[in-house]
Every structure is written in structure tokens, then in C-alpha cells.
Amino acid sequence: MTTNNFPTLQTEKFLLRQFIGSDLAAIFNGLSDPDVIKYYGISFSTLEETKEQLQFFTDLEENETGIWWAICSLDNQTFYGGGGFNNRSKEHKKAEIGFWLLKDFWGQGIMSQILPLLCRYGFNHLDLHRIEALVETENWNCKKALQKLMFNHEGTMKDYEIKDGKFISIDIYALFKNQIVLQMESN
């Protein structure tokens, strides 16, 4: 279900908009690709299963636990992936950031443009003080992207979850609102 008050964001090259029904095939293509989902935490084997994820993306705005955007070209003709916030706590002024891209668009610097936009939205419109990222320890590309954006590595939760029958460790990264203010002042 789309809402008229959903915030649309954009950069010079990208449009971030609400997920819509016609995104279903693209979401399935991404979240069924073994390389894309290697560190993502969920995967789907059918379009029918993927409908639940589409519903999750569109319901977040309504239940206030987060918000996710479809990442598209400015002309809305190319779907790249998704990004946003979940596990939002209004009381503690924090949320977890997440993102994924279709494999064809990896290594093109897309997330280096999208993540700052998402963080600014979180701090300025969701009243967040802390944005955190929980990243599988082996996900070096994600960790590099977060470090470029000045996310702080706070520690590692060893053997935190079981995935594919094996324990995995999770690194915790965080960015604080005052860091963004200081970065803007220094530029």
C-alpha cells in the first residue's frame, strides 16, 4: 500500500521512493541472488514469498518501526536496490540502518551517495541520535563503506547468531548525530 505522504529523497543521480507493487520482481531478483543475500539475513525462493518482504518495506512507515526506500535512477526507470531503517526506538532515539543492491550495480559508488542521504534523513526527520549497523564480521565491503562514512566500530559480538548451521560473529558500527554536525562544520 502506498501513501501520499511518503518522503521521496534524491541525489544528483538517484531517486529514493516508496516501494511499489511493480518492484516485486526486482526485489525477488536481489533477495534470491546468493551473492546479494550472502550477508543480508533473509532470502526468498519464490515471488510469492517475496510479497511478504514487499509488504514489510511498505508497512514500516505505518507502524513507525522504520522506513525503507527503493533506490532507483532519477527517471525511475532503473531499480538498484533498497535502503532504510528498521528496529527504530523513539524512546532511545536510535535505529538500525540496512541496505542492499542488485549485483549488477556493485562497485559503482552508489551506496557512498545513498548512505549519507539516509543518515541525514534519520537524524533530521526521525529525530535519531544514533544510527547503528549490525554487520557480519566477514562482510568486508559493507564494513569499508560504513568506515568511509565515519561510522565507529564499537565491537564484535562473537558467535552471536547461527547461520547455515554455523555460528557467526556480528560487528557493531554506530554513527551519532553530533558527528554529522561536526563533519559539516569542517567541510
The per-residue pLDDT for 63 is 62
If DSSP codes are grouped into helix, strand and coil, which group holds residue 166? strand
The single-letter DSSP state of residue 6 is P
Q: Return the bridge partners of 132, or none.
A: 96, 174
φ and ψ of 98, to 5 deg: -145, 160
Which is more confidently placed, 161 or 60? 161
The per-residue pLDDT for 39 is 84
CA–CA separation, 42 and 158 (whole Å): 20
Residue 187 in this model has a pLDDT that exceeds 60: no
Determine what percent of the chain is predicted with pLDDT higher than 70.
91
Q: Which run of H or E residues covers position 80?
A: strand 79-89
Residue 95 in this model has a pLDDT that exceeds 50: yes
Residue 3 in this model has a pLDDT that exceeds 60: no
* Closest-CA residue to 101 (of 119, 92, 113): 113
The single-letter code of the amino acid at 41 is G
* Closest-CA residue to 151 (of 117, 177, 170): 177
Residue 69 in this model has a pLDDT that exceeds 60: yes
CA–CA separation, 65 and 136 (whole Å): 22
Work out whether strand 166-176 and strand 152-163 pair parallel, antiparallel, or are unpaired. Answer: antiparallel
pLDDT band at residue 185 under the 50/70/90 scheme: very low
Average pLDDT over residues 101-125: 93
* Closest-CA residue to 11 (of 100, 76, 73): 73
Q: Are 80 and 101 in contact (CB under 8 A)?
A: yes
Instruction: Return the minimum-mean-pLDDT range out of 32-36, 96-100, 102-106.
Output: 32-36
